Amino acid sequence: LSKLQSINNILNNNNNTSENISTSNIIINKPVVVIGAAIMDFIIKVKSKTIMNEATNKGSLRTSYGGVGRNIAESLMRFGCDPLLISMTGTDTNGDNIISHMTQLGMNTSGIYRCSDVPSSTYSAVLDGTGELYCGIGDINIEEYLDNTWINKFTDIIQSSSLVCVDGNIHINIMRHVFNMCYDTGVPIWFEPTCIQKSVKPFISNVHHMITYTSPNIYELMRMNQEMTGHEVDENISNISRDEKVELSISLSQPIIHHIPHILVTLGRDGVLYISRDEGTGFWYPATPTELNINTVINV
């Protein structure tokens, strides 16, 4: 949601404050298509600030409905859009629950492929006591079992959409197919890198120049820069300041911005940095103040 709110604020107001973030419709008239994972999440949070290796850490466990693609589709739905999510689940209890939850929210489930050969995808996240991600373990089947045959059922809506958002979970061959389909008809593509390893898929398949928007975190941006330039990025950012992160992100974006005109770098507690090729500069937006009374977190 913070990514979508920030880009909406940039496009509507071009004002580098977060006080007047609009939650009005971002996309009007034409459909929005999201292609990516729908997953059952298991969130494990350790109570202490640090995690002890080879020891039992006190903590808590909760489940939620996740998957990068599904999360984005739900966020768009909450902004008043009616996105089509193209994804897959198994025919097991987790898959039934994902479909049921989407239906209860009023989301379109016609793009969900139900595969009886594999269980629904799951993701387990381990958070430290501050809420920062320590590690994640994914059992994600969409890369292997979602194919172009299913994608082609939605060719007309993809090619007539106002935006296609693709997360990094899908197979590189599907990514290439979808990107070409959009590029041929002038449909803008938003690539959500998902994780460090998957962030380079468009570069490996040489379709990165077809992307209009991308939203990496700083670690994904470092990996994308490395793939783009061929030079290893040797930066330890664990203890650098917010301003140093912003400066580093702008520097890392320079080789990429020549191919991808809009880059939204998520900096966790340090906010969001929007870098525009047209503007020739970056706009920094602070994170939501922690003193706000947040009643419910849908997902992250």
pLDDT for position 237: 83
CA distances from 9 to 90, 160, 246 (A): 38, 25, 19
Residue 28 scores a pLDDT above 80: no
Rg (CA), the chain: 19
pLDDT in tens, 245-258: 999 999 999 999 99
116-164 pLDDT tens trace = 999 999 999 999 888 888 888 989 888 888 999 999 999 999 999 999 9
Amino acid at the residue 18: S
Kindly give, in sequence order, each residue whose CB lies less than 8 Å from that of residue 121, ignoring residues fewer than 6 positions away.
Answer: 37, 38, 39, 40, 67, 89, 138, 139, 140, 141, 142
User: Looking at the whole model, is its pTM more than 0.85?
Assistant: no
Closest residue by Cα to residue 43 from 28, 62, 59: 62
From 159-173, 244-258, 281-295, the region with the lowest mean pLDDT: 281-295
Q: Give the pLDDT confidence score for residue 297 in this predicted structure.
A: 63
Phi, psi (rounded to 5 degrees) for 251: -65, -45
